């Protein structure tokens, strides 16, 4: 299995995890929200919106085209902080953080 295959599987697991935690169903942000230059589009989107409409979409594009990975990926700390701040259930927080940590590892180590 290639890193692209592993990353594709991890992205599908992140989607499933977000759905299970009721963090998937949401409106697509306005077009201008994607123009943000802030990390995680924090000034224009919620973190789940960014995960769904930016992070997952961009990484799926890399998987589909078998493109080189970015040099660094360190999203898990932001996800953990957001979930803690929002009072997410411990089980949801642990599972989602584990999945995002795996995505960070796959991207950064390859």
Per-position DSSP letters for 14-77, written without gaps between them: HHHHHHHTT-S--PPPPGGGGG--SGGGTTTS-HHHHIIIIIHHHHHHHHHHTPPPPS----HH
- Topology of domain 3-108, CATH: de novo design (two linked rop proteins) (1.20.1440)
The ranges assigned to domains in the chain are: 3-108
The two structure tokens encoding residue 9: 């599987």
Q: Is the pLDDT of residue 39 over 90?
A: yes
Q: What is the pLDDT of residues 47-58, one digit of tens each?
A: 999 999 999 999
State residue 83's pLDDT score. Answer: 94
Q: What is the pLDDT of residues 59-105, one digit of tens each?
A: 999 999 999 999 999 999 999 999 999 999 999 899 999 999 999 99
pTM of the model: 0.94
């Amino acid at each position: 299995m290639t890193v692209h295959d592993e990353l594709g599987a991890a992205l599908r697991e992140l989607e499933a995890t977000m759905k299970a935690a009721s963090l998937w169903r949401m409106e697509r942000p306005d077009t201008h929200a994607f123009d943000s230059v802030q990390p995680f589009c924090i000034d224009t989107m919620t973190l789940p919106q960014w995960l769904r409409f930016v992070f997952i979409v961009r990484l799926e594009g890399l998987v589909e085209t078998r493109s080189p990975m970015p040099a660094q990926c360190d999203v898990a700390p932001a996800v953990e902080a957001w979930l803690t701040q929002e009072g997410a259930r411990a089980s949801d927080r642990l599972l989602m953080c584990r999945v995002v940590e795996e995505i960070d590892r796959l991207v950064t180590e390859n």
